[in-house]
Amino acid sequence: MSEAVLASDSPSNPVVTVERGQRAVFCGLTSIVWLHRKIQDAFFLVVGSRTCAHLLQSAAGVMIFAEPRFATAILQDRDLAGMADCHEELDRVVEELLSRRPEIKTLFLVGSCPSEVIKLDLNNAAGRLQSRYDGRVRMVAYSGSGIETTFTQGEDKCLAEIVAANSGRTDHENPALIIAGTLSDIVEDQFQRIFDELGIGPIAFLPARSGDAMPIAGPSTRVLLAQPYLTETAQALKGQGAKLLNAPFPLGAEGTLLWFKAAADEFGVAEALFNDVTSAPLARAKQAVGYQREKLRGKRIAFLPDSQLELPLARFLARECDMNVESITTPFHDPQIMASELELFGDHPDMIEGGDLETRLDHVRQLRPDLTVCGMGIANPLEAEGLRSKWSIELIFSPIQGFDQAGDLAGLFSRPLSRAAKLEV
């Protein structure tokens, strides 16, 4: 049963309707798949059940060829009296792991939803283990539980805890600008080059590639979000005195340009220098998107709630690819983080936060769009009904941010449509 609540009725903002009901979204443990690749000296120890272990193994199946940097400590059924054993067991697993893997510098203890894990206070456990391994490894606990998090919110919880764990440290210089949100190394390097050419710095990325290099914000630090699902991380950085810059997300030629412009304006970069630095990559991005636009123009698209990337992607596809966005549902909408996106996208008839699974699926069935962006679990049933789908998780795993990726981003949407057209011939 869904309950619709009007979230915003300000005449100047698009109306966002909150709808409650059943969801079908992966839990926050999924984000370990991209976080462990990014933070190269970290290990993610999930404290959970066999279900959690299976989820991780299947989501990160490619890792079977390498020494993995994640694992699941499985807790069997226990009552409260057995919780002392749980702590002992956790200590034993951690000891074994750290003696076998000296390269681990940060150990994330990741909570999950089985009741035994909820009873176990992981923050406490991390504190206890920290005093035992101080100087050897940094312990950080966060929750990836499906009760509290959708799959991208797992990253938000992780980064917010990294920020909190570093609060009060004075052994690092505060960077001028923090770029928050996991990006592929190739995108990070491109962004670093452009910021260098603009004369903005020192900049730092959160998460950094090693636990030691995680940035610490101060009152002179500015923050640009590279991913839209970082509500708690943004709050934590603001708590360290940093200022969050309002910008759309660096998706597409326009989004990327405005994202850099927000930083350039904040740091007083001259207009002429900004144009000099950005004009060539901007022209390349526009040309690459233009090629894909021919295949996307006039096609109808709908977004089911999954990643929180829904609105920035819809804005890019509508404004740069001439697609008709027919429906957007996002699992969680942060009006402050999305302010620039909403402004760019303008009024929209159908923007839903949360979403009841059956109601949203019925809506898609009525619309019969050319493409539906959705979670993996929903894609197959839609395909079986003759509706083309795109897994939103693919958009998290692919390098899609920045000027040089704008054409590839549009290509991720045109490919399933071209494939469908070929099958129909």
Which residues are annotated as part of the binding site for [4Fe-4S] cluster?
27, 52, 113
User: Which structure tokens are listed for 38?
Assistant: 């990014």
Is 393 among the residues that bind ligand SF4 (CB under 6 A)?
Answer: no
Residue number, 145 or 401, with CB nearest to ligand SF4: 145
- Max intra-chain CA distance, the chain: 69
What string of H, E and C letters represents the secondary structure of 89-143?
HHHHHHHHHHHHCCCCCEEEEEECCCHHHHHCCHHHHHHHHHHHHCCCCEEEEEE
Residue number, 145 or 372, with CB nearest to ligand SF4: 145
CB of 145 to ligand SF4, least distance (A): 5
Annotated binding-site ranges = 27, 52, 113
First CA to last CA across the chain, in angstroms?
41
Q: Which of 14, 43, 59, 112 binds ligand SF4 (CB under 6 A)?
A: 112
Contact code string over 4-43 relative to ligand SF4, x by CB under 6 A: -----------------------x-x--------------
Is 55 among the residues that bind ligand SF4 (CB under 6 A)?
Answer: yes
Residue number, 50 or 368, with CB nearest to ligand SF4: 50
Is 312 among the residues that bind ligand SF4 (CB under 6 A)?
Answer: no
Is 49 among the residues that bind ligand SF4 (CB under 6 A)?
Answer: yes
Q: Which of 14, 106, 146, 309 binds ligand SF4 (CB under 6 A)?
A: 146
CA–CA distances in Å: residue 162 to residues 18, 39, 42, 187: 30, 12, 12, 22
Residue number, 148 or 266, with CB nearest to ligand SF4: 148
User: Which structure tokens are listed for 28?
Assistant: 């926050």
Question: Which region, judged by CB under 6 A, interacts with ligand SF4, from 49-57, 94-102, 221-229, 388-396?
Answer: 49-57
Question: Which region, judged by CB under 6 A, interacts with ligand SF4, from 98-106, 108-116, 169-177, 394-402?
Answer: 108-116
Q: Which of 52, 216, 251, 289 binds ligand SF4 (CB under 6 A)?
A: 52
Residue number, 114 or 375, with CB nearest to ligand SF4: 114
Are β-strands 3-6 and 17-20 bridged in parallel, bridged antiparallel, or unpaired?
antiparallel
Indicate if the alpha-carbon torsion angle 267, 272, 276, 278 is positive or negative: positive
Would you say 149 and 143 are in contact if contact means Cβ atoms under 8 Å apart? Answer: yes
CB of 149 to ligand SF4, least distance (A): 8
CB of 119 to ligand SF4, least distance (A): 14
Residue number, 56 or 183, with CB nearest to ligand SF4: 56
CB of 60 to ligand SF4, least distance (A): 13
Q: Which of 16, 44, 109, 145 binds ligand SF4 (CB under 6 A)?
A: 145
Is 113 among the residues that bind ligand SF4 (CB under 6 A)?
Answer: yes
Is 234 among the residues that bind ligand SF4 (CB under 6 A)?
Answer: no
Is 244 among the residues that bind ligand SF4 (CB under 6 A)?
Answer: no
Q: Tell me how many residues contact ligand SF4 (CB under 6 A).
A: 13
- Number of Cβ within 10 Å of residue 201's Cβ equals 13
Residue number, 145 or 292, with CB nearest to ligand SF4: 145
Is 57 among the residues that bind ligand SF4 (CB under 6 A)?
Answer: no
Binding site for ligand SF4 (CB under 6 A): 27, 29, 48-49, 51-52, 55, 112-114, 144-146
